[in-house]
Amino acid sequence: MNEKAGDIARSLAEVDRLIHEPARLMIMTILSAVESADFIYLQRETGLSKGNLSSHLSRLEEANYVKIEKTYRGKIPLTLCSLTTSGQLAFQNYREKIMRFMENV
Amino acid sequence: MNALDKAKQRSFQYWFEDGLNEMGIGCLLILLGFYFYLGAVLPQNGILRTILDISLLLVIPGGAWLVSRGVKYFKEKITYPRTGYVALAQKRRAPLWLAGGISGLAGAFFAAIVIQGNLLQWIPALTGIIFCLVFVFIAARVNLLRFFILASISLAIGIAISMGDFGLSEGTCAVYFSLGLVVLVSGACNLVKYLRQTPAVKDPSHE
């Protein structure tokens, strides 16, 4: 029984820590539910400050989980974010691991 | 409902948050009401009536196109600078039972009209039922109470106008005008609420 509990605990250590961070998990969850969203929508939905959101998005972009397109709508800057294919796979993988863990707890 | 489903539902809700879509639908219904009004007042065998009959092929798609362009324009001016832009995930297809139910209901009704001419009186009620189902479908998808209210009002308007026995053209015109007005007012109220709650972002830069 202890061995099983150990396995379960160890399985949690395998989750993607980049996604596991709460703010980034919020961003990934929102982006996985939509096709794309702009910076203002993400900021409003997550409740993060501009700087905080920007830094988390940069981390996700570096990992190639999120694609960020900077364009303009008229004269207004528009930052459009969407999940990449590897981001979708990583998030799916993360969800499966967490769900398996929760089922065994 | 898990967090992912909630995020998905939230994005659908967001699409209706500013009331602009309802205002667009309301304008389209009023336009159709005006079309049926012309149908009621123009003489049956005149050239204008023929033009009007043919123009129905343009009124519906043309009106829908104009309304969607208008909604997009106002969303770009009002909504996106305030609360951002979101592109919804690929649209889900309507559940088979719902599509079958609506088609079956409409088919049965029209079959009954063909068999018994006096059922024409109930066309406004059928219109009300169809809009009721559309609003119930939206309400179930976005979980917003006001769409359940709009569904109930649609049903009530359709039945009330049918029971008033105004005649086919006048009844159809009345049901579209009334429904359009209700949906337009609902959207306008929501837009006012949205504008009060969400001031425009002063500095739109993100870095």
ipTM of the prediction: 0.82
Q: Give burial (CB, 10 Å; 0-12/13-18/19+) of B199.
A: exposed
B194 within domain boundaries: yes
Per-residue pLDDT tens digits for B135-173: 888 888 888 889 989 999 998 998 899 888 787 788 889
Total count of domains within chain B: 1
Topology of the domain covering A3-104:
Arc Repressor Mutant, subunit A (1.10.10)
Domain residue ranges in chain A: 3-104
A48 touches chain B (CB under 8 A): no
Residues of B in contact with A42 (CB under 8 A): 84
Q: What is the pLDDT of residues A5-55, one digit of tens each?
A: 677 677 777 888 899 999 999 999 999 989 999 999 999 999 999 999 999
Q: Residue written as tokens 């980049």?
A: A18
* Residue B207 within any structural domain of the chain: no
Using only C-alpha atoms, chain B has a radius of gyration, in whole angstroms, of 19
The rounded distance, in Å, linking the Cα atoms of A38 and A79 is 5
Instruction: For residue B156, give the nearest of B135, B184, B142, B141 by alpha carbon.
Output: B135
Best CA proximity match to A63, nearest among A30, A85, A41, A36: A85
Q: Is residue B86 part of a domain?
A: yes
Does B85 contact A34 at a Cβ distance shorter than 8 Å?
no
Reduced to 3 states (helix: H, G, I; strand: E, B; else coil), residue A71 is: strand
Residue B14: closest CA among chain A residues belongs to which residue? A41
Contact A95, A24 (CB under 8 A): no
Give B27→chain A minimum CA distance, Å.
Answer: 27
How far is residue B150's CA from residue B136's CA, in Å, rounded to a whole number? 8
